[in-house]
Structure 1
Amino acid sequence: MPVTLADIEEARRVLKDAVVHTPMLPAPKLSALTGAEVFVKYENFQITNSFKDRGALVKLASLSAAERARGVVAMSAGNHAQSVAYHAARLHIPATIVMPVTTPFVKLAATRSHGADVVLHGETVNEAQERVGELVREKGYVEVHPYADPRIIAGQGTIALEMLEEFGELDCLVIPIGGGGLIGGNAVAAKALRPDIEIVGVECALYPSMWNAVRGDNRPAGGSTLAEGIAVKSVSGLTVSIVRELVDDLLLVGEPDLERAVNAYTTLQKTVAEGAGAAGLAALLAYPERFRGKRVGLILSGANIDPRILASITVRELEREHRIVSFRLSIPDRPGTLGLIATRLGALGANILEVEHKRLLLDVPAKGAKLDVTIETRDAAHANEILTALAADGYQPAPIDGGAGIE
């Protein structure tokens, strides 16, 4: 192995009192949701709200005085960028961070707030990486790679040391995969301590780079994903070799599963997870039979999500659960009708969120109108009760925007 348990234990000594020893707690609500016995390691409690603090500091602390004077450069879609910027500032090392132009504003602002020089380049992390190579050649910077570096991998592996010290009887660890640094380090540590433990890696289905490398597949990689932190088009031989040797299974999760996982952390655990940070939980939601009854350790690896996206996910989940529904009514265009409908919805226990009157649609009779209504309900059964009642009243409710139908 390019990284050993001894490397990871040395990394732990470097990190002592310099990063947060994050809590690991049982999650009964997530256990009830997934059917597994779930334990969560809250790496979102790190100073930069991601596990990346560990590897970044181990790498930066290893630099010589001459290397520190040259300055460092890193490529990242956000979390590695923030960690390198933060710890470089602490160690008085000049830092330049190259980020894709698609990086969420919240991650861009956070990186700049730590004093790093931010360069926006390319649509993807691969294109940003090309610019890093140019800056290394032009400026002589020392590169701090987000995953293809033994010290980075060793730093990330300290998470498993802490997890297994606190909950040594776990059956498996389910770990997000981007470039493979997180799962690589933790697979080395966990398998050294517990050879029987199962290591399961999770990629977003739009970026199955490790899947392709390990399984010899050729699935396409690309597209807009909630998990931009693990949206990596190519992985390094360093991490691939570890995954091939030590990771027992790879799973792919889709965007709806990622959204459900982010929402579950928010609503059930009252904590914030970005899409990549919630990938492990997304796998439990996507493959419940795979993990049913097992004691599963999850790494909530990051919390740097755009607040607007988080709010959107919460509302979308309410719509999926039919707790927010939208429908169109056919109504007579005469005074008092809108009031009658509002009163009727109130009597049925609905909370009206939005109303839009439409008179100029060609499929509307000259003396009629369409009324688009969005309401809040208790659950799907309540939504169907309301739509059934409105249908009985003659208003012909038709779901719109993916709203609930009458079952």
Structure 2
Amino acid sequence: MTLPITPAAVRTAARALDGIAVRTPHLSVTALNDATAATVIVKAENFQRTGSFKLRGAYHHAASLPAEARARGIIGASSGNHAQALALVGRLLDAPATVVIPSDAPRAKVEGVVSLGAEIVTYDRSYGDRDALVADLAEERGLSVIPSANSAHVMAGAGTAALELLTEHPEITTLLVPVGGGGLAAGTAVIAKDLRPDIRVVGVEPHTAADTLASLRAGHRVSLEEVPRTVADGLGHTIPSELPWQVNSLLLDDVVTVTDDEITYAMGYAFAHLKCVVEPSGAVALAAVLANRPDVAGQTVGVVVSGGGVDLRVFHDLTSTFRTRNGTPAHV
């Protein structure tokens, strides 16, 4: 099968994003290494502009559009991070932006979209069809759709985070990455396997939203019967996006899952030890390595922390019961 993106596409995206996306830091601390019996290097995309990796793909896709299409406007659907990225992209490229957001999206993410001047359209995620709504609005207004994952340009842009990490740290032998729609995992896997063919790329999903894992076990895309309930709202997909699935079904070495309790523990751990505020969706790969899932003892491990879009009240509520491994309270 010919994959929808190539390593060359990721490198092209990196050139297009030069001066637009922040080259986010790579963090490593003794406490995390000791806790995992590994050398762990965290790619901190929570420090990216708008607070997540999503800017990388959204900008790369929108910048590839003809000028007249950008002038008419762009539209996309998101639980928050892609929406904020689209709002900033619209400002950077002078393209009016419309974002379709679930009515229960985190307040911090909604406020971020509003502050950047994008128009917001809401829907109920329990029964609303966001993709149909986006398609209808795009046709009615002549807007260009910027998917959150199902786009070659979006996947290539997302893969630039892994390109940065592995270029600086070629010693990494296992790379853990969150999986929602699958665009970040797909871009990551394509460039990682090119830079280091023997690297193990592991996707991480919430236990209750493991549509990619279910699809891998079935050998084809399958849809979850119900809308997932998980603290990781950005990863609550019912079916993998088609183009990322073509990549992930071939290049991901494994997919593991984490519970909500493990996710919130990882959020507290990141605050206490990495001095980072990480949202639930952004914390799943860190949660997996802390849970020794998969076993990475003795390895050099890359962990993609994909975002930090969480408001103060929610962050405090989710992490208020965090304890270090020896049981000592960690004030967050």
1:140 is displaced (CA, Å) by 1.7
- Correspondent of 1:277 among 282, 289, 292: 282
Partner of 1:7 in structure 2? 9
1:300 is displaced (CA, Å) by 1.1
Partner of 1:16 in structure 2? 18
Partner of 1:38 in structure 2? 40
Partner of 1:163 in structure 2? 165
Q: Which has the larger radius of gyration?
A: 1
C-alpha distance in structure 2 between counterparts of 1:87 and 1:150, whole Å? 17
Partner SS for 2:27: strand
The answer to whether the 8 Å contact 1:44/1:300 transfers is yes
Partner of 1:135 in structure 2? 137
The answer to whether the 8 Å contact 1:207/1:221 transfers is no
* AA matched with 2:125: E
Partner of 2:306 in structure 1? 301
Deviations 1:158-181 (A, max 9, x none): 111111111101111100000000
Partner SS for 1:38: strand
Alignment of 1:307-386 (within 5 A): 307-318=312-323
* AA matched with 2:316: A
Considering Cα pairs closer than 8 Å and 6+ residues apart, tell me whether 1 or 2 has the greater RCO: 2
The answer to whether the 8 Å contact 1:125/1:232 transfers is no
Deviations 1:284-327 (A, max 9, x none): 12335612222110111100012112111232224997667xxx
TM-score normalized with structure 1 length:
0.76
The answer to whether the 8 Å contact 1:100/1:127 transfers is no
Q: 1:118 to 1:289 in 2, by over 3 A?
A: closer
1:105 is displaced (CA, Å) by 0.7
Partner SS for 1:191: helix
The answer to whether the 8 Å contact 1:89/1:114 transfers is yes
Unaligned runs of 5+ in 2: none
Deviates more, 1:194-203 or 1:159-168: 159-168
Answering whether residue 243 of structure 2 is matched by residue 238 of structure 1, we say yes
Partner of 1:99 in structure 2? 101
Q: 1:321 to 1:227 in 2, by over 3 A?
A: farther
Deviations 1:124-153 (A, max 9, x none): 597322211111222221100000000000
The answer to whether the 8 Å contact 1:75/1:125 transfers is no
Q: 1:218 to 1:81 in 2, by over 3 A?
A: closer
Q: CA RMSD in A?
A: 2.1
The answer to whether the 8 Å contact 2:176/2:202 transfers is yes
The answer to whether the 8 Å contact 2:223/2:239 transfers is no
TM-score normalized with structure 2 length:
0.93
Deviations 1:80-101 (A, max 9, x none): 1001101111111011000001
Deviations 1:5-57 (A, max 9, x none): 11111111100111101111323221122222110111111110101110011
The answer to whether the 8 Å contact 1:206/1:220 transfers is no
Q: 1:163 to 1:222 in 2, by over 3 A?
A: same
C-alpha distance in structure 2 between counterparts of 1:289 and 1:36, whole Å? 12
Partner SS for 1:120: strand
* AA matched with 1:64: P
Deviates more, 1:191-200 or 1:125-134: 125-134
The answer to whether the 8 Å contact 1:208/1:220 transfers is no
Q: 1:289 to 1:131 in 2, by over 3 A?
A: closer
The answer to whether the 8 Å contact 1:41/1:297 transfers is yes
C-alpha distance in structure 2 between counterparts of 1:97 and 1:39, whole Å? 33
Partner SS for 2:4: coil
* AA matched with 2:196: R
C-alpha distance in structure 2 between counterparts of 1:219 and 1:131, whole Å? 21
Quick one: percent identity of the two aligned structures?
37
C-alpha distance in structure 2 between counterparts of 1:12 and 1:94, whole Å? 24
Partner of 1:268 in structure 2? 273
Partner SS for 2:150: coil
Unaligned runs of 5+ in 1: 325-375, 378-407
Task: Give the number of equivalent residue pairs.
Answer: 326
* AA matched with 1:236: S
Partner of 1:195 in structure 2? 197
